Amino acid sequence: MKVEELKHPLIEHKLAILRDKKTGTKEFRELISEIASVLCYEAMKDVKLKKVKITTPIEEMEIGKLEEDNYAFIPILRAGMGMLDGVLGVVPNAKIGHIGMYRDEETYQPVNYFFKVPKGIEKREVFLLDPMLATGGSAIDAIDLLKEKGVKKIKFLCIISAPEGIEAVTKKHPDVKIYTAHIDRELNNNKYICPGLGDAGDRIFGTK
């Protein structure tokens, strides 16, 4: 499967608070960050560790350690920034890039306005961050940009996803695995996820 959905009672509990329109900006931000960290743990289940020798207070031992420099987190601006602290809590020394996109409200298509990634990005495994996977347009464009830079390993992390967006991304980029906290029912006529949680960027930054 190219999609992994978190199925856990505590995640469902946090999503219930996140979705509620009465939830304030501070709590919304905190929950986005918490769920992002869990998604990161799931997405890194298959990483390879480097064997090193350490000395505990009792004895010397060999153990696996993560080579953090091999990874990069790239949020899709602006909403993806809400997930960044959560994933950096898991891999604090990962490199960070940014991809800026906004949705044209008439065509519903993503418009690119900023792209900056760390040097040597093609050698790293990239985790693309965006709370919402709706039509899949932004995710597809972001993945296209990364592949043009030579990136070979990409994983997409999102809080809420729509079946239409999952289908679009997996059709265009079958090599990219999607990690999501929940797959919602559908998109409405305005291309918003239903039941969804509203505009994640506005709720993270308190702009509405």
**Strand duo 177-183 + 3-5: pairing:** parallel
Report in angstroms the alpha-carbon separations of 124 from 12, 74, 97, 136, 150.
32, 12, 12, 23, 10
User: 175, 185, 199, 207: which one is catalytic?
Assistant: 199
Q: Three-state SS for 162?
A: coil
Check: CB of residue 68 under 8 Å from CB of residue 117.
Answer: no
CA–CA distance, 144 with 133 (Å, rounded to integer): 16
Q: Is 107 in the active site?
A: yes
Q: Is 78 in the active site?
A: no
CA-based R_g, the chain, Å: 17
CA–CA distance, 130 with 108 (Å, rounded to integer): 16
CA–CA distance, 33 with 75 (Å, rounded to integer): 12
User: 180, 184, 202, 203: which one is catalytic?
Assistant: 202
Q: Is 56 in the active site?
A: no
Torsion over CA: 88, 92, 94, 95 (sign):
positive
User: 29, 107, 130, 141: which one is catalytic?
Assistant: 107
Torsion over CA: 9, 10, 12, 16 (sign):
positive
* Bridge partners of residue 65, in order along the sequence: 50
User: 19, 23, 78, 103: which one is catalytic?
Assistant: 103
List residues with catalytic annotation: 103, 107, 199, 202
